[in-house]
Amino acid sequence: MSAIPRPNALPREKVPAFTVIEDVAPCVDGGRYPIKRVVGEDVRVTAACFAHGHEHVACAVRYRMRGDREWREVPMEPLGNDLWAAEFTVDRVGAWEYLVACWVDHLTAWRDGFARRTEPEDLRLAARMGADLIARSAALCEANDCAKLDPWAHILGEEGDIERLRAVALDEKLFALALANAPRDGLTETQPLAVTVDRERARFSAWYELFPRSCSSIPGKHGTFEDVDEWLDGIAAMGFDVLYLPPIHPIGRVKRKGKNNAVAAEPGDVGSPWAIGSREGGHTAILPELGTLADFRHLVMAARARGMEIALDIAFQCAPDHPWVSEHPEWFRTRPDGSIQYAENPPKKYQDIYPLDFDSTHWKALWHALRDVFFHWIEQGVAIFRVDNPHTKPFAFWEWVIAEVKARHPDVLFLSEAFTRPRVMHRLAKLGFTQSYTYFTWRNTRQELIDYFTELSHGEAAEYFRPNVWPNTPDILPYHLQNAGLGMFRVRLALAATLAASYGVYGPAFELGENRPREPHSEEYLDSEKYQLRHWNVRRPESLAPLMTQLNEFRRAHAAMRSNASLLFHSTDNEALLGYSMRAGDDRVLVVVNLDPQHAQAGFVSVDLAPLGLDTGEAYEVRDALGGATFTWYGSRNFIRLDPQQAPAHLFAIA
């Protein structure tokens, strides 16, 4: 981003902006969208700042929380080649802003020139020039500082002894005082750039998804919020901190889908939770079979007491018998025969879903009603929302509604469930979604994983796109998990939990290795929980709960795992082995995953020592959190052997 001086817009008596600011970073789309941080993180700002000829410049980053009257300021340090850098720390949740300021630094230029001069008369002349500059600083400073600068300027203007003149002119403390109060001639400032600052869970979280209706301990019985309450201790013990619930609203009866997405429902079929609305209510109501609003509020508080939060699914679509269909038919599109248009993706038809018409001439009332859905659930204690298919709604709506919610509730987080084209996914992240689903679900090979997670962690998108990686979802049973053994589930779990600071699993189905596709070449589950009750016995001996617990304990124990910024891949001589590390200060972890779920794999991993603060000639210890063993390594190249029958990965803490 470049700030262009506009002399004609300045008062005539003010010196025009002779300085130039270019290439400010971080900066998303020229400043159109904010960067993202969490409380306590630094924002490192760099910029190219310069002026014509041999003029010296000084630069600073000015920052504040939006709404604060005063700006805070930190000076920028030169990096060479006209590049400058500075950092500031964001310490509160909310909207922040920062800018870069640059001005001609006459005082430093004078001091540098004075130090190089040798001729007596030349020195005396330069001293008088310095006296004029110092007098300008004295005129702008407070009385106490002025009392120190005025005598200094007087000595420089009158002193005849060259050696004393030289010593006085180069006084460090007086120079720093004068510099701090010097006028900023030729000042240029960029337009403010935005920072959205969230709470820690925006950056680091482990999600567990379950359907409340499948939580009953009695097979075939509809579960309730009270049943979910019985699951909380187990989920918390595994180390998950977000419990995500699919829609909990009344389910439409008209055109209800049956088991395995059958067009016609049989008696007793419970329908899809995403077919929202019936005579019992719509998006602010609760399915009566689950319980009451009071029961839901109790669940929210019970989860919070265990260090977890409830994340609620928001799906802006309606069943044919949703109250809005009769109360606000203008919010839906009609077909030529006068009937309301149901959802289609030819040849697929979703007769049980009516999309909302965001382009309706009554769009404003619709948008406000949808915004109020968020406000309703926030009042019930929900502060995290997983948004279903946001890419099928207008970008302008999301930018508006997220801003509306965050203005009142800056701690609220939004997860974008948009498995779609990259630019669309990234646009939604720029517009305000806190976290985003990713393509991890379909990235399998060593090189695919390296390329994709390097892009997410270190590309421009790292400033605004926070990945939340999922190996499966209720909609997606990826091909590599279909009819696969638990070994593949262990591999994908280890990757998800360690490649990104935020990850999630479609809980019981993944925990128990649910692997049956509805039909060949389909990513739909057979007997999908989306359309019927399921009974999950998570106490089965083959449950992945112990591995989930170990992985989440490792994540929580290491500050290095709480951010994606330090992710670094290390080369291996075996394509089946993937090695990578993270670091936060003295906390360093190294993960090596065996991508082969069936066979033991061995090879050498070549650790890039310098980024981890390790010396080539020194020994260091690595302690494996999964296997429990401690090894002493020397240098960068060390031998690894991983047997998937014992563990899918090494989780090394580096001592």
Provide the token pair at 71: 């700006």
Per-residue model confidence (pLDDT) at position 159: 64
Where in 205-308 does DSSP place strands (E)? 205-209, 242-245
Find where tokens 């690894």 sit: 640
Residue 50 pLDDT greater than 70, yes or no: yes
111 pLDDT band, cuts 50/70/90, is confident
- Identified catalytic residue from 105, 198, 309, 417: 417
Mean pLDDT of the 494-513 span: 98
DSSP tag of 519: S
Name the least confident of 44-48, 295-299, 337-341. Answer: 337-341
Please tell me the predicted confidence (pLDDT) of residue 166: 81
The answer to whether the CB of 274 falls within 8 A of the CB of 314 is no
Q: Is the pLDDT of residue 7 over 80?
A: no
CA nearest to 132, candidates 172, 189, 185: 185
What is the rounded CA–CA span in Å between residue 23 and residue 67? 26
596 is catalytic: no
Statement: residue 638 has pLDDT above 80: yes
Of 253-257, 272-276, 341-345, 576-580, minimum mean pLDDT range: 341-345
Which position has the higher pLDDT, 343 or 381?
381
Q: Which residues contact 599 (CB under 8 A, 6 or more apart)?
A: 644
Instruction: Work out the pLDDT band at 14, boundaries 50, 70, 90.
Output: low
CATH hierarchy code of domain 568-654 = 2.60.40.1180
Flag whether pLDDT at 45 surpasses 90: yes
Domain with CATH 1.20.58.80 in the chain: 106-181
Decide which of 116 and 272 is more confident: 272
The region of weakest confidence among 153-162, 355-364, 410-419, 437-446 is 153-162
C-alpha closest to that of 433 among 393, 379, 471: 393
d(Cα 266, Cα 287) in Å, to the nearest integer? 19
Considering the chain, what is the average pLDDT of its residues? Answer: 93
Which of 148-157, 354-363, 391-400 has the weakest average pLDDT? 148-157
pLDDT tens track for 113-130? 787 887 878 778 878 888
SS3 343: strand
**Residues 286-320: tens digit of each pLDDT:** 999 999 999 999 999 999 999 999 999 999 999 99
The pLDDT of residue 12 is above 50? no
177 secondary structure, DSSP code: H
Q: Select which of 388, 463, 511, 596 is catalytic.
A: 388
Token pair belonging to 308: 């977890």
Which CATH fold would you assign to the domain 238-248+286-316+358-538? TIM Barrel (3.20.20)
**Tokens standing for 170?**
């180069």
DSSP string, 545-561: HHHHHHHHHHHHH-GGG
Cα separations (Å) of 143 from 138, 146, 149, 173, 181?
Answer: 9, 5, 10, 17, 12
Q: What is the pLDDT of residues 70-106, one digit of tens each?
A: 999 999 999 999 999 999 999 999 999 999 999 999 9
Residue-wise pLDDT for 226-242, tens only, equals 999 999 999 999 999 99
Q: According to the per-residue pLDDT averaged within each range, which of 11-20, 175-184, 595-604, 614-623 is highest?
A: 595-604
Overall average pLDDT of the 385-400 stretch:
98
DSSP states of 111-145? HHHHHH---HHHHHHHHHHHHHHHHHHHHHS-HHH
Catalytic site residue 417?
yes
Q: Nearest 5 degrees, angle CA 528-CA 534-CA 539?
A: 120
At residue 427, φ and ψ (nearest 5 deg) are -60, -45
The count of other CB atoms within 10 Å of the CB of residue 510 is: 25
Write down the pTM of the prediction.
0.93
At residue 8, the pLDDT reads: 39
Looking at the chain, the whole-number percentage of residues with pLDDT higher than 70 is 97
**Domain 106-181 -> CATH class:** mainly alpha
d(CA 292, CA 366): 26
Q: Are 579 and 561 in contact (CB under 8 A)?
A: no
- Which has more pLDDT, 8 or 195? 195
Give just the sign of the alpha carbon dihedral 373, 413, 308, 425: positive
Cis peptide preceding 520, ω within 30 of 0: no
Alpha helices in 380-534 (DSSP H): 395-408, 422-431, 446-458, 486-499, 507-511
The one-letter code for the residue type at 619 is A
pLDDT tens digit sequence for 185-215:
989 999 999 999 999 999 999 999 999 999 9
Residue 273 has pLDDT above 90, yes or no: yes
In Å, how far are 331, 533, 536, 559, 605 from 217, measured between CA atoms?
41, 12, 8, 38, 47
Task: Write out the residue limits of the CATH 2.60.40.1180 domain(s) in the chain.
Answer: 568-654
- Residue 113, SS3 per DSSP: helix
Tokens 């209510």 identify what position? 281
Q: Is pLDDT of 529 > 50? A: yes
